[in-house]
Structure 1
Amino acid sequence: MPAYHSEIEEFQRKVGNMAILPLRTKVRGPAPSINTDNDIIDESLYYFKANVFFRTYEVKSEVDRVLIYITLYITECLKRLERCTSKEQGQQDLFSMAIAKFDLPGDAGFPLNSVYAKPENPDLMREYLLQLRQETGNRLLEKVFDTTDGKPNKWWISFAKRKFMEKSLSGPGDRF
């Protein structure tokens, strides 16, 4: 069974070899804001539990590269959320993680330099990834803490130990 790929086919801009896709967001950044039921972050969250089991992933488009990055970022978020006892604590942790210094494609610490091209405009790439990280964290938080007792959902947290494509956005020794 193959991994799930994004169903989004059209995009206007790209940075490096990643598509800059419209997002349903209020977070400022280079991605245009749209009013739709489904964007790349929704797709990434929807396919996450299935895709995280794959060791390989065939990249079919620039949109798939965005899906891969978001999937890896969701894993890092879940690692953080497994230590949180409340939604408020999770929100603070995910926000600080989103804005913390992170490697871009082409940097020595970036885990998938073979899949991503070094961006011609690193500032645009950083702004776009920052926007993706913040919005992904916000939406994931709503899913993980969608419980009656206010505790994290164990079915989401159980995926914190998984590694999509045997990769991690955190370097060796980094502990999110």
Structure 2
Amino acid sequence: MPAYHSSYNDEPNVQQIAGVALLPMQSRTRGPAPLPIDPSRPDIVEEAIDLFRANSLFRNFEIQGAADRVCITHTDIQTLIYLILFISDCLTRIAAAPTTWSKNEALKQLTSYAVDNFALPGDASFPLSSLYGVPSSRAESDTLRQYLVQARQETVTRLLDKIYVDHAPSRWWLAFTKRKLYVPSTDISMGKSLS
């Protein structure tokens, strides 16, 4: 059985910067993400959170389309994979905390992590740099950073709403920090971290 993929694979006219698709997002934070045409349709952040657990159970993730895939010359990687790796990083930070974080403490820590200076595709320190392009200008680089910050902040907010039950993080969600994902067409283990 194949892994689950994004419903945005067939979306026409999606802007891409350095191989990252700027997909529609219903966001409470400001940023360059376009608004969805159909607000009842789950956006890319909701898809990433919903598909995280299911895709974590698969050993392989085969790339199938534009929302999954970000084409850079001969190699493919998925926008969905970036958010899945970010979710994994967030869960790892919650699990590794010396004391159990309350939802408010987790929101504070993870929001700070979401906006902290992080490597962009094209930077030497970006963990999947061989799979992404380089922004063609400073303006594209700034737009990409703003989009990823917006997506990361929105992911943190929605993720915490799902995993905090009875004022404590769900152990069932935290168990997924040990799962690794592998993209066969890239020969790169998704056991990497974005941090």
Residue 120 of structure 2 corresponds to residue 104 of structure 1 = yes
CA distance 1:36–1:5, change in 2 (3 Å): same
Paired residues for 1:18-167 under 5 Å = 18-34=20-36, 35-64=39-68, 65-82=78-95, 83=97, 84-120=100-136, 121-145=140-164, 147=165, 149-165=166-182, 166-167=189-190
What amino acid sits opposite 1:66 in the alignment? T
Kept in 2: contact 1:29–1:131 (CA 8 A): yes
Q: How many residue pairs align between the two structures?
A: 169
1:63 is paired with a residue whose SS is: coil
CA distance 1:142–1:20, change in 2 (3 Å): same
Kept in 2: contact 1:17–1:116 (CA 8 A): yes
CA distance 1:53–1:117, change in 2 (3 Å): farther
- Return the structure number with greater strand share: 2
What amino acid sits opposite 1:67 in the alignment? L
Identity %: 42
Regions of 4+ moved over 3 Å: 53-56
Report the Cα offset of residue 129 of structure 1. Answer: 0.8
Kept in 2: contact 1:17–1:117 (CA 8 A): yes
Kept in 2: contact 1:17–1:62 (CA 8 A): no
Kept in 1: contact 2:86–2:194 (CA 8 A): no
Report the Cα offset of residue 78 of structure 1. Answer: 0.3
Structure 1 unaligned regions, length at least 5: 172-176
Q: Distance in 1 between matches of 2:61 and 2:117?
A: 26
What amino acid sits opposite 1:142 in the alignment? D
Q: Distance in 2 between matches of 1:46 and 1:136?
A: 11
Tell me the equivalent position of 2:185.
Answer: none
Aligned alpha-carbon RMSD (Å): 1.8
Report the Cα offset of residue 27 of structure 1. Answer: 0.9
CA distance 1:62–1:113, change in 2 (3 Å): farther
Structure 2 unaligned regions, length at least 5: 69-77, 183-188
Report the Cα offset of residue 133 of structure 1. Answer: 0.5
Q: TM-score, normalised by structure 1?
A: 0.87
Report the Cα offset of residue 55 of structure 1. Answer: 4.5
Q: Distance in 1 between matches of 2:65 and 2:18?
A: 12
CA distance 1:127–1:12, change in 2 (3 Å): same
CA distance 1:138–1:85, change in 2 (3 Å): same
